[in-house]
Structure 1
Amino acid sequence: MGACEVGLPTVVPADGLPARVTIWEVGARDGLQNEQSVVPVDVKIEFLDRLAAAGLSILEATSFVHPKWVPQLADAEDLLAALSRVDGVRYPVLVPNDRGLDRALAAGVRDIAIFGSATETFANKNLNRSLDEQFSMFEPVVTRARAEGLDVRAYVSMCFGDPWEGSVEPKQVAAVGKRLMDMGCSQLSLGDTIGVATPGQVEAVIAAVALDGVPVDAVAVHFHDTYGQALSNTLAALRLGVTTVDSSAGGLGGCPYAESATGNLATEDLVWMLDGLGVETGVDLDKLADTSAWMAERLGRPSPSRVVRALRG
């Protein structure tokens, strides 16, 4: 019986790749935030529990963005209050501003993420701030969070292309990323929000970020799969030394402020590739595929993940 018949890729290690990759699972937050029908909080909690049981160690749980802007995540406090946290698993939340940080601290959160923009137009549409003004909004949040002992991650969106501005200069991405890291963030996640990047562009942006003084081991990548390039872009990043990859179970997700943004890189597709390359993730692909098939049933549509479809039909 061949390897693919039993749901396992043939393992052929490749040179120049990290021995282990950390998956930053965003399904419960980025994956669900754009769903039109409200997903019940008990379903979200079971989703997180199942993801933890599959071996994922970082589960971005929810967001403290104002409920008016992202109604799907209006239940953030309820979810965190009812969630049974698994030892060894981190549950970061997205925090946009000081009010969001107040809510996160009250909920006992220990890991937060802020969400900046590499472009002027998206900063205005997503944050109601100019490209420069976003830093004055984030700085007090990061400073206070670090003083409270929280870890802070910085997302930068539109790093490879913007639907209003077109191509984005790598130097511009690097400048934004450097300012966020200088505030005290521990990791910089480079987002291909509309999924237009190609591997050469990924190499150029990561090189520019490194040239500005952000070490590659502090860089994560966050690819959307609009043009089917997410896996090839991820492999390009890994060959440059990146060891943290954002993905969403079942390929769920989009961006409520960028209509051209389709689903995230599917965690199952990522794990299949990494398993085949002999790169450790700690993730049980079988349990993960079961989880995404279960969530697809709850959402009433097939999973976008090709691996989930191949393994579960």
Structure 2
Amino acid sequence: MTVAPRKATNLAKEGGPRRFVFLLLDRFTMISFAGAIEPLRIANRVAGRELYAWRLAGEGGQEAVCSNGAAFRLDMGLDEIERDDTVFVCGGIDVARATTKAVTGWLRREARRGAVMGGLCTGSYALARAGLLDGRKATIHWENQDGFLEEFEEVKLTKSVFVIDGNRISTAGGTSSIDLMLKIIAADHGEDLANTVADQLVYNAIRTDQDTQRLSIPTRIGVRHPKLSQVIQMMERNIEDPISPADLAEDVGMSTRQLERLFRRYLNRSPKRYYMELRLQKARNLLMQTDMSVINVALACGFASPSHFSKCYRSHYNTTPYRERGTQGAVPGLGTRLAV
């Protein structure tokens, strides 16, 4: 299927529409892209004039295919843009492979010329690869955070829905693009217009950059027990250096036996088993999203030896870490797993 989105009209420099360039990487996610471009279209319609204009760009300048197979006709290749344009890199699956030298070179060049740079979903990876997020706050889809943290230590990664740090912007993917664009519309033309656009989108729970992208622990696990939530939060924050069940229990003011009963009652597993599953889940993320060695993955997830790590991994996933890495191809790449 080929979809030809609306093409921007005259891009006036003074008093004209604010201009956006959407850089569509190969296998970008449609929901993040649509969540960014549709509020702009609706704002124009509601205002009765062209407040915003946009172009679709991509390497080769012909066509970009998103992760669901839909193809979009591009307006331009990696050409020079206006200095006051805002660039949004639309990322998705296998973003490391899609972030080519030509893409990073174009991003650096346009950033030097003064363009505002943003990343939607895993598009933040492309910005970081180009060195445009060093020393900046940023966000990326929660599933890709482990790999991102390992590769880009200079970036101040947050778990926010979206982040605006000066002339650098990033979103967590999914519907977070809508929240970002409503923020931009409100800043440009007032809250009333932004709220009208939200109503048109039937979007009645607008989030800010203070909101986090994942559900709270009680909502996520379906259990509203404060001490259980507290223990799980401690586990999630201490993957590399696991805390013993006895210490976890002491920290929340209960005995180890009480903690065991709590986990059995609500999660049907022991605290030790739940903790192990968290660590193995992070290990799988790192194997699939980075080129870290299996030994370093093991250490990053609290395993003292590769052999113990391999044994636990095989028991849980029915394959070894080495085979898991092999199934991802020559370039594992951030975003090999689903990024919405």
Higher relative contact order (CA 8 A, sep 6+): 1
TM-score by length of 2: 0.32
Task: Report which of the two structures shows the higher radius of gyration computed on alpha carbons.
Answer: 2
TM-score by length of 1: 0.34
